[in-house]
Chains A and B, each alone.
Chain A
Amino acid sequence: MNCSDVRLIIGAEPGAITAELERHLGECRACADYRREMIRLDHNIRLALKLDLAALKSDGPARPRVRLVVDADAAAADENRPPVSQSGARQWALAASILLAVAVGFVFWGALPRHSLAADVVAHVISEPISQDVDSTNARSTLARVLQQADLRLDPIHDEVTFAQTCFFRGRMVPHFVVRTDRGPVTVMILPNERVKTAERFAEGGYTGVLLPVTGNGSIAVLSRAALDTDAQAREILSALHPRAEG
């Protein structure tokens, strides 16, 4: 091990030590000094990186902060829970104020300028991890549940469902699913709160797709990386999609 090797190791991991390194440091004063200097520098780097979180608070407009809360019904159903005490009441008050803050946040968020709907859909699809372990039966039943949560149902379709999930999109939980066609996978997002006047075709981030208005309200996004007719796919999905109330 020569000085270059030793300095590489020290520079990369100042605190690391091996018998061979120790032997070299015992014989080479310059490298021993270098190590001391690097350990000191590393200590300062650690301090420098440990920024005060309050100082990091953005100067920009406040953004809605999603709180992770458990389902209120499930919590209420927990019969083993001790009776609500005064501190419990305070917790509820705190929870209510947090919910109010989140609601205000969402309202504020809605007032902010938005990216195009197509861009947001593509960004969401790109960022969404899709499980590689495809269990079609499971995915189909998950899709039924996901659609049920949105008060929708889907007639049987020709293509195999490979993924289904309720996703957080533009402040709402929306159904997101993937079907496998002969030409490749197609992603579908049902967007009850996003209206489009007419069909909007887009090509973004390697995806091509279409946003179609849904009768009543909202829209449906159908997109794919594969070269296929997303319009036809969208029409097929739309014709199979119904409100749950409908027979």
Chain B
Amino acid sequence: MIQSRPDENGERLGDAFGQLLESLRPDLVRFAYWLARDRSVAEDVVQEAMLRAWRARSELKDAAAVRHWLLTIVRREHARLYERKRLVTVDVTDIIEREDAALARSGGDGELLDLRRAILRLPDEYREPLVMQVLGGYSTAEIAKEMNLSTPAVLTRLFRARNRLREIYGITPGAACGAGEETP
């Protein structure tokens, strides 16, 4: 249990902040899940991130930016977890097998389940910016900054992520255009 320590913001603010954290927990868990592709890891990451956020709550200047701030903490916590635990690389088929029941329980039709599997199959370097953009609401520039990439590199990764999903998802390729011009 973390006891909040008296600070200049007062205990009431701390209490309100705790409630705010709890209210955003579902979004954080979803985000962490798509980064980690493992429910237990996602729960751990969010738990650590919330503790970290609680400690650093005085650094939050703009209350409206709290969701974005927390998502960033979750992402960094996930990255740290990989750094320090050197998580073993798992075959994507095993991941799908392990997570399939949870994906199916999440509702939607068969097509949506296929799409979820396809997203799980995406390599980290494509899945992460896509999740940051679609679920996290990050702009391309923000993703670039957070992932330490150039903006064009992020655009390329997002483009490739969607095109892979488009292929895996079974959408027929669009009509050819721009003869001789290769897409990135």
Q: Which residues of A contact B (CB under 8 A)?
A: 2-4, 7-9, 11-14, 28-31, 33-34, 37-38, 41-42, 44-60, 63, 65-71, 74-75, 78, 99, 102, 122-123, 126-127, 129, 168, 173, 205
Q: List 9 A-B contacts (CB under 8 A).
A: A4-B183, A8-B156, A41-B171, A49-B119, A49-B131, A52-B105, A67-B1, A68-B18, A68-B50
Residue of A with least CB distance to B26: A53
**How far does the alpha carbon of A81 sit from the alpha carbon of B181 in the complex, in Å?**
70
Stretch at the interface among B60-68, B87-95, B109-117: B109-117
Besides A48-B116, A48-B119, A71-B6, 19 new A-B residue pairs in contact (Cβ under 8 A), listed by A number: A3-B177, A8-B183, A9-B155, A13-B155, A13-B158, A30-B174, A33-B174, A42-B134, A49-B135, A50-B135, A55-B104, A56-B42, A56-B102, A68-B22, A69-B2, A71-B4, A74-B11, A123-B84, A173-B2
**Contact, CB under 8 Å: A48 / B108:** yes
- Compute how far the CA of A57 lies from the CA of B26 in the bound complex, rounded to whole angstroms: 11
Task: Decide if B140 touches A65 in the complex (CB within 8 Å).
Answer: no
Among B2, B107, B115, point to the contact of A68 (Cβ < 8 A): B2
Main secondary structure of the interface of B (DSSP, over half): helix
Name the contact of B162 in the complex, choosing from A11, A56, A68 (C-beta under 8 A): A11
Interface residues of B (CB under 8 A from A): 1-6, 11-12, 14-15, 17-18, 21-22, 26, 29-30, 33-34, 39-40, 42-44, 47-48, 50-52, 54, 56, 77, 80, 83-85, 102-108, 111-112, 115-116, 119, 130-131, 133-135, 140, 154-156, 158-160, 162-163, 165-166, 169, 171, 174-178, 181-184
Q: Is the Cβ of B162 less than 8 Å from the Cβ of A42?
A: yes
